[in-house]
Every structure is written in C-alpha cells, then in structure tokens.
Structure 1
Amino acid sequence: MPQMFREEFAFRLKKRSRLGIGWQMREHTRFQTMTRAKYHAADILLWLLKSRQRPAARQAGSADFHKDVPIPAKQREVRFSDFESVARLKERGGLAKDSRENWCRLWKQNPALAVGKSQLSMGWVLETAQGIVGYQGNVPLLYQFGGRTLVAATAAGLVIEPAYRARCIVLLASFYRQRDVDLFVTTHTSASAASQLKALRAKALAQHDYDKVLFWVLDAHQFSKALAAKFGLGSGMAAVGTLGSPVLRADALRRGPRSRRTNRFGVREIEVKDIGDEFEALWQRKLTETPRLFADRSPASLRWHFTLPGSSSTVAVLCCHRFERLVGYAIVLHTIDRETGMRRSMLADILVEQDDPSVTETLLEAVYSNAVASGDYLFEVIGLPRHIRQILMRWNPYVRKYPTDPLIYKTADEALVRILADENAWYASPFDGDATLMP
C-alpha cells in the first residue's frame, strides 16, 4: 500500500477503532481499492461518468426547495408573465438558466404555430398563495411521415418542489390531454417521471440500443480534472485522477476514426443562419425515400431549433457536397458545463441522402475532427438509427447506458401506433424532443 494511503488508513483506524472490526474491514477494502486505482484510475473515472450519480454538493443544492407540509396548490396554464417565477423554480431545481428571448422563440417564433389547428398551451404550473411550485413546459413541433405533416408536442423543463412531487402525474396527464396533437414526445426525463409517463400509457422507443451513449475522450487530462470536480472528489481521488489521465490518454488513442476522408466529398462549415435553399432541396429528396418518422428539418425549422438565445452553447453546421450538390449535413453542439468547465461535443443531427455510407462516414469524421479542433474534452453520440451507429461502433467507443429511456412517445392514432412499434419507422436523434432545443 502506498505511504500516503497507509498513513491515512492508520489514522482513520485509530480514530474509529471503537466502531468495531466490521468498520475496519470495510475501510481496509476501500483503501486497497484506492491503491489499485493507481493502475486502474482510468476505469474508475469512466465508471463515475457511466454511473451518472450526482455529487453530494449538487444534492445538497436541492435543499433550497420547501420541505414543509405543502399548502394547497392549483394547476393552471402557463402565461408569459410567469417567466420570472418559473426561471427561479428551474434554477432551484438545478435546470439550465432560461431567458425571455428563449420563451419568445419557443412560443412566438415557432414554425409549428402556423400549422397547428389550434393554439397549443405553453405548459402548466402548480401555484400556491406563495408562488409557483411546479412547472411543465409544452413546445409544439412538426413531424413528417409518408407525406403527412404531424403536429407534435414535446414536454420541456419539468420541475416540481419536493413537497409537491405527488402532483407530478397531474401535470403529465394535462400534457397528454391536449387536443389537435398527433404525437407526444418526451426526451431525457428522470427515471421517476419516465415511470409515470408509462403509467399514462406512453411507450419507449422500440430501438433496443437507443439508451446506449457512445463517447470518446478527446483530452484525457482535462477530462479527468473536470470529472473529479463534477463528483466532488477529495484530494486522494483527485490524485487518482491525475495518475489516471496518462492511462486514459493511452487508452483513448486506440479509439476514434482510423481514416480521414473529411475532404473526399468537400466538407465545409457554415453558420446556422446560412442554412438555406440547398437544405430545402435535400430535405425534399429525403422525404421521397423509404417512409420514416422525421422531425421537420426544413431550413426554417433547423434555423429556429439551433438558434439558442441566452445559451453559452455554440453550433457548427458541416455540409458535404458531391458535384456541388448538398448530399448530407451534420450539426455539432458544443457545450461547457457551468460548474466543472467540462467541454463537451454532441452530434445533434445528421441527414444524408439515401443514407449513403461513404457520405455518412465522411461527415462523422468531420464531426469528430471539429470536436477535437474546438478543444472539447469529450465527444458524445446519443441515439440515431442503426446504420449510423454501426459506423461509429467501428471506432471503438466507450459506452455507457442512459439511466432511463431517452425517448418516450404516445399517439392516439391507432395506425401510427402500429407503425411506430417498428424501430425502422423512426429516424430518432437528439434533434427530437427538447434534447438540443433548450439552452
């Protein structure tokens, strides 16, 4: 056992000897594990990331919520004047900071508003005499399937003070009671909310591996430091992280794309605002292929979706051309964790004409290169159809399981129910729901 661990173990053993042999054995086992971590620190760091457990500091942060016996709360629809109260509630609940500009984007500038038969609700709140204690946002979206335009609703920003958690299912039921909605989509919710959604007869996406997140470590040293900060690790485990980064770096070098075809078809980067006519042409050609359920990817919807007011995230749009015609694009979302400084890239969307594997792989390699060039510590891929994931699996990614079903849906259309039971009927990705829609 290394000297620093041996001394700390002896000190703890002397201090707590009165607790008995059981405690001593547990402590001895723990410090043996820390010793082995010198050689397996990379495994420990990756296990922490996979576990998705919150550090104690974050858990304590929720103590600001009221824990007294709840006073009566009434439910009503959200109004624009609720912004400040909802923003404070979301902040207490640990959600990302929102802005008035984003509320205008979601409920005034939304392209789906011009298509729906009726004006959909902005969402619902639980309100007491002291203020708002629960919130469920509701964002209208458009989908396309077999030449048919579907009006969808996605649940966004669910947050409820602990004393009122029993009322969560009431908010969710209101979401599903909406009229003139063809499809309800909820993404990346908590395990408890997911179970309540299923109690309301919603279903998880049929794709069996959709809950497996693929990721690559791009900067092992910075990744280790950010992960240690995320989990509030003490000096001992921080040292393990320092020891682990060279091991992790060596392991990470074995992962990622082996070839570089980025310039094979001519890949270039544009800004979100420059998404225009050639994207519309690609989108219309895509809709004539095998019928699948697509979230609307018209230029107006793409620009609206990836313009995130008040967000520190940045977006890169990568375009692939063949003979001067756009044959595919990929969109990368770059984020920085406000607490740990973790720089993360996510493949937010990818669309390729006829699912051409050469174009797809070219774009995926360009996305990976973009993440590296941006100085990100981590590159993640969540969801996407099987043919895209098969290419990525050849890059030997790390894999972690999402703690719950990443996409849950419901429809009252019996024909659509039967169709969507087949995973091949979907083109599901982080573009669906609110996974990349919110700041």
Structure 2
Amino acid sequence: MIDINEIKIRLAKREDAVAVSDLLNRLGLNLPNKNEIEKINTHWNRLWDNNPYYQQFDEDVLYGWVMEHNNTIVGFFGCFPRVYYYNKKIFPIAIASQWGVEKEYRTFTHLLCDIFFNHHPISTKLVTTAIKPTGRIFEKYNGKRVPDPDLETVYMVPINLLKLITHKYKEKLDNNSILKFAFKAANFLLPWKLQYKLIAKNKRLKEVDVNTLSVDFDKFWERYLQSSKGLIASRSSNILKWYYTGGSRGLTKKVFIYMSETDEIIGYASIIDEPVIENKELKRYKIIDLLAENEKVKQKIIKELVRYSCEQKMDILEFHLPGTIKKNDIPVFTLKRNVPQFPVFFQTSDTEMNKILQEKNVWQILPFDGDTCLG
C-alpha cells in the first residue's frame, strides 16, 4: 500500500519533459514518447518556452506540477498561459492541459488538484477539452460550465452524405446487400454534392500563409477587439503565428482572410484537417476560428468554406464549440450531434470575475480557445 507521505508534489521542470511526455503517451494521450526526444522538445518549446504570453509578461515559465513517488514521475497536471482580453483589457488565463495520473496513484490526484486550483499565480483557469473526470474536478473546486449549452453541440455539413450514412450504419449495410445497393443508387440518382459544387466561388476569401500576416491583420484585430465586449482570446498576428505553426499531432491547419472591396481585411477564419477517429477514411475539416466585421461577412465566409471543403474532396465540415456561430449562420443543410461530455469549464479565485463569468454573453468561445486545436 502506498503511503501518502511518500508522495511528492512539485513544480515541473524543463528536464521533466521526456518523463512527462512518456507518461502521458502511455496513458493514451496523443503525445511523443520517450524515444521521440526531438518531438518532445519541439512540443514543450512551442507550448511553453516560446509561448508569446511570456513576451508580454516577464514571468518564469510555469509548466505545471508533477506527482512523484520514489523519484519517479507518476502524475502531471500541465497548464500554460494564454492572453485574453476582458472588456478590451488584458486578462491572463491559465489553460489546463495534458493531465494524467498512473492508475494506482489516482487516489492522490487531489494533491495535484489542490496546488493547481489554490496556488496557481493566474486566478482564472479554463479547460476546453474536458472529459468527465476533468469536469468533475473543476466543479469540486467551485468551477463551472461555461454558461452556453450550445457548446456541447456539433454542427455538421454532410458533404458526402452517402459516406456518412455508410459509416453510421456500416454493420447493417454490410449485412444487407439490397439496402447497400439502394443507397448507392440513390447517391447516383440524387447527386448530393452538386449543391455544394454550385456555390459560386467567393474570391474575397483568400488562403494565406500565417507567417505573412502583418500590420494589416493587426489593424483588423484591433478594430474587432475595440468593438467587442466580454472575454476574448487575443488574435494578434504574433499569437496566430504561434498557434498555427507546429503541433504534436501533425495536422494541417489553414488560415484565410476576407477582403473588402477596398482591400481591407474585414474577416478571418481557419480550419483543421482532422480525420474522424473512428474511421480514418472519413475526411473532415473542422472550423477552428472565425472573426468577421459583421454578421453578413461571417455568413459569406462560412458559405465559401463549405464550397472550399467540397472542392478539397472533404466528406464533412464540422463546427465544434460554436459559441459565436449559430445554425442559422450555416447556409446549407446541417446535421447536429452532441458531444459525450460538456467540454468547457472555468474556475476562478476572483470573486467578482466568478459572478461575471457566469453570464453567457461574456463568452466568445470557439475551438481557437484553450488547447482544443493547438496540438
């Protein structure tokens, strides 16, 4: 039996990178293992050492906390800072990320929880990829769901409807050749993709290399920030370059800007190429982020991304964490599903902010927030 007095909780150090990554990899997280030292270093450099937050705040890098037993790391609660704004003023938020504890040590998880929630120098914490245990932990420490029930909804544009139906009802179709033939015949007689192919190309939306974003984009971001209220993650060009460059999963991310008739940036969006886990043959784009000068521009961007997804031979375009995107913004037939667990929780030791953050209209959540698409 393990004695609690043998358990040590301490700040993680840069030298812990290999042991921590290997632990999380063994626990099922999609991270490099101990044999991929170069990848581990790249991941830690990006998430922490090169995090643009530390260019704005002269603070020591805080990787999180480790749990040790007999000088062996058996648990890790990672966190990294992100720059947010609340009513146009800089507001740091600590992002809970990459949590894991070896099974035989999970009775001591509260030791990591206590230090994360009670001793983190940043008062407000956020998690955007919560599984059931993470959500329960946040609630135990007076954390709450972000007050937007739509965040558990995923909107889906079924570009290849037959392929999606085949995926969902694979077992039934495999066991019924007549039904399978009927689906294929229906797809031939009713060419579903034609509706997307007939969308006229909007040349105002242009794919760009994120590293070329400059002062013109920052002018757009500053205008957007000044017109916004509540809590919003920074989209400065410097932060976007950090966010979209790299990632331990190696997934392709694409960035777009929307130009006005006078060649001024009035919108921006991004997508990630992420195949469906249960069926790698299902090709999927997911919307990461979308900011627009007005609702009309937002809807034009979405419509062009639907057309673009079809052009790129995607099977599905999905909208996760659609805090600022409503179903009515999507101008084509849309399905929806709910995620298994409500994904976004916050916790703060600031009494005033705790009240404020319980108001739905304070939040502008999209997958760009937290660590949802950062990896």
Same fold (TM over 0.5): yes
Quick one: distance in 1 between partners of 2:20 and 2:156?
33
Which of 265, 270, 289 is matched with 1:331 structurally?
270
Report how far residue 74 of structure 1 moved.
2.2
Q: Which residue of 1 aligns with 2:60?
A: 119
1:142 aligns with 2:83: yes
Post-superposition Cα deviations, 1:342-371, rounded to whole Å, max 9, x if no partner, equal 432110000112xx1221111112222333
Q: Which amino acid in the other structure matches residue 183 of structure 1?
A: T
TM-score, structure 1 length as denominator?
A: 0.74
Partner residue in 2 for 1:8 = none
More divergent stretch after superposition (396-405 vs 219-228): 219-228
The correspondence for 1:201, drawn from 124, 129, 142, is: 142
Aligned residues: 361
Question: 2:98 maps to what in 1?
Answer: 157
After superposition, give the CA deviation of every residue in 1:108-151 in whole Å (9 maximum; x if it has no partner).
Answer: 11111133363252011222237322122111111012231111
> What residue is the counterpart of 1:295 in the other structure?
233
SS in 2 for 1:302: helix
Matched, 1:270 2:211: no
1:90 to 20, 24, 29: 24
Is 2:14 aligned against 1:74?
A: no
Asked if the contact 2:287–2:318 (Cα under 8 Å) also holds between the matched residues in 1, the reply is: yes
Instruction: Give the aligned residue type for 1:421.
Output: Q
Residue-by-residue CA offset, 1:166-196 (whole Å, 9 max, x unaligned)? 2333323322224441421111221122112
Of the three residues 280, 285, 299, the one matched with 1:345 is: 285
Q: Could you tell me whether the CA contact under 8 Å between 1:261 and 1:362 is conserved in 2?
A: no
**What is the CA distance between 1:423 and its match in structure 2?**
1.1
Q: Is the contact made by 1:349 and 1:431 (CA closer than 8 Å) also made in structure 2? A: yes
**CA separation of 1:92 and 1:379: change in aligned 2, threshold 3 A:** same
* Alpha-carbon distance in 2 for matches of 1:297, 1:134: 33
Query: How far, CA to CA, are the matches of 1:199 and 1:397 in structure 2?
Result: 36
Task: Classify 1:159/1:165 alpha carbon distance in 2 versus 1 (closer, same or farther; 3 Å).
Answer: same
Q: Is contact 2:150–2:323 with CA below 8 Å preserved after alignment?
A: no
Instruction: Give the letter aligned to residue 177 of structure 1.
Output: N
Partner SS state of residue 149, structure 1: strand
Task: Give the residue type in structure 2 aligned to 1:330.
Answer: A
Q: Which amino acid aligns with 1:321?
A: M
Asked if residue 211 in structure 1 is aligned to residue 152 in structure 2, the reply is yes
Residue 366 (structure 2) pairs with residue 424 (structure 1): no
**What runs of 5+ residues in structure 2 fail to find an aligned partner?**
33-38
Matched, 1:406 2:346: no
Report the equivalent of 2:370: 433
1:81 deviates by 1.8
Tell me the distance in 2 between the aligned counterparts of 1:218 and 1:178.
48
Distance 1:310 1:186, change over 3 A: closer
- Once residues 417 and 251 of structure 1 are traced to their aligned partners in structure 2, the CA distance between those partners, rounded to angstroms, is 52
Task: Output aligned runs, 1:19-418, within 5 Å.
Answer: 72-98=6-32, 99=39, 100-116=41-57, 118-129=59-70, 131-220=72-161, 223=164, 238-239=174-175, 243=180, 246=184, 253=192, 260=199, 262-263=201-202, 266-322=204-260, 323-336=262-275, 340-341=279-280, 342-353=282-293, 356-386=294-324, 388-392=325-329, 395-418=332-355
Deviation of 1:303 (Å): 0.9
Q: Give CA deviations for 1:362-416 in whole Å, capped at 9, x if unaligned.
A: 1112222333333333321112335x21434653422111222211112233332
- Does the 8 Å CA contact 1:136/1:158 hold for their aligned counterparts? yes
Map of 1:47 onto structure 2: none
| Aligned amino acid, residue 87 of structure 1 | S
Check whether the contact 2:84–2:232 (CA below 8 A) recurs between aligned residues. Answer: yes
Would the aligned equivalents of 2:48 and 2:61 in 1 still touch at CA under 8 Å? Answer: no
| TM-score, normalization by structure 2 | 0.85
Closer, same or farther in 2 for the Cα pair 1:274/1:399, shift >3 Å? same
Higher helix share: 1
- The aligned counterpart of 1:42 is none
The separation in 2 between residues aligned to 1:292 and 1:257, in whole angstroms, is 36
- Verify the 8 A CA contact 1:217 1:252 in the aligned structure 2: no
- Cα distance change of structure 1 residues 240 and 418 upon mapping to structure 2, 3 Å threshold: farther
Amino acid paired to 1:123: G
1:396 and 1:114 map into 2 onto residues whose CA distance is: 44
CA distance in 2 between counterparts of 1:140 and 1:192 reads: 22
**Deviation for aligned residue 1:75:** 1.9
